Amino acid sequence: MGFLFISKSFKSKKHEKSSLKKYLPLIQSSADMNSLEIFLNFTFNVKWMKAKKFWNEKFDERVKSIKNDQNLPPLKVFVLPHSHNDPGWIMTYKEYYDKFTRDILDNIVRKLSEYKEMTFVWTEISFLDLWWQSATIEQKESFKKLVNDGRLEIMTGGYVMTDEANVHLYAMLDQLIEGHQWVKTYLNITPKIGWSIDPFGQGSTVPHLLAKNGFEGAIIQRIHYNWKEYFARYQ
């Protein structure tokens, strides 16, 4: 209905720019850094890229020197047990669920109930929805208790982990709404942390959508090594 209304408005206004600004205002966003400017300074043909092995003596020496430097703070390693489940890749959505995901979700409830110090992260609501339909009352109650206790965290809460390169804005937003409606209805929660570890590259659209939805941060993975080095250096 919104598109139909705008279309009629443009037709009557003869596509005047004032109408475009009125119904589709350009929203300005701010960021802590300009990634386009930083990108121009990256070096992509570093020597170690041509090496047969990623790890070499130079890296080993650097690790040992850093490890023995008393002026540096100790390394902190954060381990986040999780399971990435593609709704569609080599197999179909249902095949993935039947062969893998059902057992994973069953084991999440079973193992977290057994090991009281264990935590877990889940994000693909499409699979959680399918599992929920056949889960027992006991499984559902255990799942909700784990969520409420903070031991099982729903990250992003989208229906899928959206691709960030080829997907249109409205598809990104639609799956986010779909997933958030589900977690609010069945778990009565609102996700606050994004989890985007498998899309091939990270764009600015998804972080913008998450920020507008009140998210406090996000975890990303598939970025160029130059970016990982930059973030590690400047944090």
pLDDT range class, residue 18, cuts 50, 70, 90: low
The amino acid at residue 171 is A
CA 123 – CA 142 distance, rounded (Å): 18
Fold entry, domain 93-234:
7-stranded beta/alpha barrel (3.20.110)
- Give the contacts of 15 (CB within 8 A, at least 6 positions apart): none
pLDDT at 26: 72
CA 208 – CA 31 distance, rounded (Å): 10
CA 206 – CA 209 distance, rounded (Å): 5
Closest Cα to residue 169, out of 192, 203, 129, 195? 203
Give the residue-averaged pLDDT of 24-29. 71
Annotated catalytic residues are 198
pLDDT range class, residue 62, cuts 50, 70, 90: confident
Domain with CATH 3.20.110.10 in the chain: 93-234
Contact 93, 129 (CB under 8 A): no
Element (H, E) at 219: strand 217-220
**Residue 82 CB-half CA count within 13 A:** 17
Contact 108, 152 (CB under 8 A): yes
DSSP H helical segments within 115-192, as ranges?
125-134, 137-148, 169-186
pLDDT, the chain, mean: 86
Residues 87-135 have pLDDT tens digits of: 988 999 999 999 999 999 999 999 999 999 999 999 999 999 999 999 9
CA 115 – CA 113 distance, rounded (Å): 6
Residues 143-197 have pLDDT tens digits of: 999 999 999 999 999 999 999 888 899 999 999 999 999 999 999 999 999 999 9
Cα R_g (the chain), whole angstroms: 23
Q: For 192-229, b where at least 16 C-beta lie within 10 A, e where not — what string?
A: bbbbbeebeebeeebbebbeebebeebebeeeeeeeee
